[in-house]
Structure formats: structure tokens, C-alpha cells
Amino acid sequence: MDKVSSSEDETGALHNVESFVLDKLLTQHISAGGDPSINMGELVESIDHTMSPLFDQAIEDLIAQSLIHSEDGENYQITPDGISELENRKKEAIPL
């Protein structure tokens, strides 16, 4: 029973990290004058230390789902699918 709860907690935490990354990239996309991408270092610096263990996995999952992309492996930007996914996640969010 504890393994299921732990797995669900980790899945929820990963989902939160993914949403955080998507939100940061969308903000950059909207506010960017010419460059809608964010450097990996900037993303890492902006996360809460509790998100750090799941950060790399979140980036990999978002790339695999084509929600973000990077041409050089260092600078990331949100895709149109990523924008749609973030909008869906915000609609489905359960208020506390």
C-alpha cells in the first residue's frame, strides 16, 4: 500500500514539475521580444529545491511528448502542443 501511495505522490510531483516548466516557457514565449527560449541554467535556477530530483525526468518527458523542444540541447522553448497541454492542465486543476 505504501508503494502505491509513494508512486502516486511521485507521479503527482512529476506532473507539477512538468507544469512548472511549461508555465515558465510559456511566460518566456509570451514576453520574448525575439527569443522565446530559456537556457537550461535559468530553468534550473528558477525551480524550488524540492523539484530538483524530478527536473531532468520532467524535461525528458516533455521533450518525448513534443511539448517542448531544444535545437541545441541547452535552450528550450514551448511548442504549440505544449501551450495547449498547459491550458488543459490549468482547466483540470483541482482547487484546494
Q: Determine the average pLDDT of the residues in 57-74.
A: 95
Q: Determine the average pLDDT of the residues in 65-74.
A: 94
Cα separation, 79 vs 66, in Å, equals: 7
pLDDT score, position 25 = 94
pLDDT score, position 44 = 87
Q: Does residue 96 carry a pLDDT above 70?
A: no
Q: What is the pLDDT of residues 79-90, one digit of tens each?
A: 999 999 999 999
Contacts 24+ apart (CB under 8 A), 34-39: 36/77, 36/78, 37/70, 37/75, 37/76, 37/77, 38/75, 38/76, 38/77, 39/74, 39/75
pLDDT score, position 68 = 97
User: SS3 for 49?
Assistant: coil
Q: Domain limits of the chain?
A: 2-92
Q: What is the pLDDT of residues 33-52, one digit of tens each?
A: 677 899 999 988 888 888 88
Q: What is the pLDDT of residues 3-36, one digit of tens each?
A: 555 677 778 889 999 999 999 999 999 987 677 8
- The C-alpha angle 72, 76, 79, rounded to 5 degrees, equals 115
pLDDT score, position 6 = 63
Fold for 2-92, please state it: Arc Repressor Mutant, subunit A (1.10.10)
Cα separation, 68 vs 82, in Å, equals: 6
Distance of CA 70 to the CA centre of its chain: 13
